[in-house]
Amino acid sequence: MVNYRRARVLVVLPDHLHTIWTLPERDADFSKRWRGITARFTRRLATQGIVLACDQRGEYGLWQRRFWERLFRDEEDFARYVHYIHYDAVKHG
């Protein structure tokens, strides 16, 4: 059985993505972590020569401004969400 407290998943779909990851102990700042991930990803695209347009706020339109975090209660909850992620990827082709 998968240790849901240490699992990592990343699924990239045409218009959104799903991730499952574990924050370090005593760290619950999802926003800070996600901001760091998206900033590094965006900078990496720019260094690869991919042109990204900024909006009126000076932000790249690559990422939506919000995200949804979810804490798994137990392995059953984790399994249900992994199934959802898998089905969503199949649904999007």
Gap between the Cα atoms of 44 and 67, Å rounded? 21
pLDDT in tens, 26-43: 888 888 988 888 889 888
User: Mean pLDDT for the chain?
Assistant: 84
Q: What is the mean pLDDT of residues 8-19?
A: 84
Looking at residue 80, its pLDDT comes to: 92
| Contacts of range 36-44, beta carbons closer than 8 Å, 24 or more positions apart | 38/62, 38/63
pLDDT score of 84: 92
